[in-house]
Structure 1
Amino acid sequence: MRRLLWLTAAALLVAGCSSSPGHEAAAKPPPDPRPLGGALDFTAAEYAALHRAEEREVGTCMRRQGFGYDAVPVGDVRRRAATSPYGLLRRDLAAQDGYGLTVQRLRKPPADPNARRVSALSERGRTAWEAALKGTADGPRTELTLPDGPTVSIPDDSCVAVARRALYGASWDRDQYALQSVRNSIVTATLDHALVRAAERKWARCMRESGFPYLDFADPFKAVEKRLDAAGSDRAALRATGEEELRVAVRDAACQGEAGLAEQVVRAQRQVEQKLPAARTSALDDFRAARRAALGRAEAAPGGSA
């Protein structure tokens, strides 16, 4: 996953900053709290299996309409699965690529496996191919009104939508959007909980004692983003930013541990979820059943297990 310059920067920083292997192996990993019992989260292997299954369904739909289609490769599911909704850091990942920001900036966009196929079509053919994949502007659509107000419009005649219905079931998108809204509200309320705010103050003291005068958990992340924006395409500046990102993230992860942040998030999240009205999580049982069924279909298909 690493690219050129980042390989060198990461290797140098990990060698200089990470703890000894024996110490890390002996340390008990902190908890990894996820709202709603992790119903909306998947392991890297599950993300990969679901992606491949969805791409197979898209290909089947496209071929039925007379078009060729090459599956899009699985992306960085390891980082996606490990990313905490609360910004909690795993020390091993922090030592490898910090917050993942410089790595993402340096990573080349993945090649579109269908680009050559589509470019060889006539203008009318390209329009028809895109319409089959993504749906038509004047075609049938499903309108989903989310609990917090916005409306999501999904084209029913797209092969992407057909694939998702085949894999996940007809109610998946509606339930997922609704539960994602609940999940977001849980995260917001948990981070604003007195227990987490107290841990944040301890974390800030720890960071300040290490020379990082941050007040908010998001401050280091924002600082790296700002520095990346200033670096632009300057490779030397990007390298320096990558080194600094690793240094900050490693200390950030250590201070989170010293402040007992993950443990306080667990306690606060439990209290927040206990106060949720039942109506807000009414779709949870159906969603979990659909999730189990989708994973079963994905893992039973050829090449489904990772």
Structure 2
Amino acid sequence: MVVAAVLAVACSPSGNGGREPVDSDPRPLSGALATSETEAQYLRTLEETAIAECMANRGFGYTPRTVTDSGRAATTNPYGLLREERAQQDGYGAVGEVLSRANGDPMNMASESDEWSRALDGTQEESFVLSTGVVLAYRPDGCAYQARETAFGQDWNRLQNELEGLQATIMVRVENDDQYAGALSDWSACMRDSGYSYADLQAPRTELEAGIDAADGDGQALRDLGREELSIATQDYECEREARLHEAVHDVQERTERSVLDAAARSDIRRYQELKQAALDRAASSQQTG
């Protein structure tokens, strides 16, 4: 794999240094919105197939995107926390994602007439209010919306948006909590001692994005930046652990969810997980018999 070959110049794993076990990847809602790269591909395939079928029923061509994205977006911790192996092998995934895009994705440009776009996106705008108070606009007559309901089950769209809203609410509260702020300050000091000046977990990623833009597609520049990314991310992970940032997120998130998640929210989480698992089971079965 090209990405692995480029980024494998990183330091070798150093173990956990005798640290006590910890939830190294704390996520809101017990990770209900999280997927592995394989799961993300399965779900994407189901959705794309359903979109193509819906568009065909309306007399339009649509080429399913059989080459999916790398899955990094689906597997990245929403807080920006790193896992040891991923940090050492792929860094933040910034340079690797740029390189993986070289594989491309089949597009549907030739079919994108106004009628085609309306069939895909829909025209009848409706809205509903999430439990968080956010008003969400959507177009239930579009194939993009209907395909998700077909592929994953009735009410999937509402449930996913409800959970994304809840996740955002929980994350805001966690990141504004004094315990989290203290751990983040310790992380920043640790990074500074190692020669990196970052105020928050997103700062290294922002810096790398600027470097990617400056590289302007130059292969050698990207490889050099990839090496630097691995070095930063490896130190980042070490400082996260030294500052007990993972533990802080886990503890604050647990407290926050006890106050935020009522019975209705927990029911939505269970229903969403059931629909997702059923869809994954269908996709896996299709792969085996296909």
Shared fold per TM-score greater than 0.5: yes
Structure 2 residue aligned with 1:122: none
Pairing of 1:53-68 with structure 2 (within 5 A) = 53-68=46-61
Structure 1 residue aligned with 2:136: 152
Paired AA for residue 7 in structure 1: A
Structure 2 residue aligned with 1:299: 281
Structure 1 residue aligned with 2:104: 110
Paired AA for residue 259 in structure 2: K
- Would the aligned equivalents of 2:156 and 2:275 in 1 still touch at CA under 8 Å? no
- Would the aligned equivalents of 1:207 and 1:213 in 2 still touch at CA under 8 Å? yes
For structure 2, the 5+ residue unaligned runs are none
CA distance in 2, matches of 1:208, 1:130: 49
Deviation by residue 1:251-288 (Cα, 9 ceiling, x = unmatched): 1011112222111211111112222263xx62441342
CA distance in 2, matches of 1:228, 1:286: 40
The answer to whether residue 240 in structure 2 is matched with residue 240 in structure 1 is: no
Pairing of 1:1-306 with structure 2 (within 5 A) = 2=2, 7-8=5-6, 10-12=7-9, 14=10, 17-19=11-13, 23=15, 30-73=23-66, 75-76=68-69, 78-106=71-99, 107-108=101-102, 110-115=104-109, 118=111, 126-135=113-122, 139-146=123-130, 151-276=135-260, 278=262, 282-301=264-283, 303=286
- Would the aligned equivalents of 2:208 and 2:229 in 1 still touch at CA under 8 Å? yes
CA distance in 2, matches of 1:167, 1:32: 28
Alpha-carbon deviation of 1:234? 4.1
CA distance in 1, matches of 2:261, 2:63: 45
Paired AA for residue 110 in structure 1: G
Aligned length: 285
Taking structure 2 as the reference length, the TM-score comes to 0.83
CA distance in 2, matches of 1:36, 1:167: 23
Match of 1:282, SS state, is helix
CA distance in 1, matches of 2:174, 2:152: 30
Q: 1:283 to 1:63 in 2, by over 3 A?
A: same
Paired AA for residue 154 in structure 1: Y
- Would the aligned equivalents of 1:52 and 1:304 in 2 still touch at CA under 8 Å? no
Taking structure 1 as the reference length, the TM-score comes to 0.79
Rg larger in structure = 1
Question: What is the RMSD computed on CA atoms of the aligned residues?
Answer: 3.0
- Would the aligned equivalents of 1:18 and 1:250 in 2 still touch at CA under 8 Å? no
Paired AA for residue 111 in structure 1: D
Report the identity percentage: 33
For structure 1, the 5+ residue unaligned runs are 120-125
Alpha-carbon deviation of 1:247? 1.0
- Would the aligned equivalents of 1:204 and 1:215 in 2 still touch at CA under 8 Å? yes
CA distance in 1, matches of 2:266, 2:201: 30
Q: 1:268 to 1:290 in 2, by over 3 A?
A: closer
Deviation by residue 1:194-228 (Cα, 9 ceiling, x = unmatched): 22222223222322222223333332222222333
Q: 1:74 to 1:39 in 2, by over 3 A?
A: farther
Paired AA for residue 117 in structure 2: E
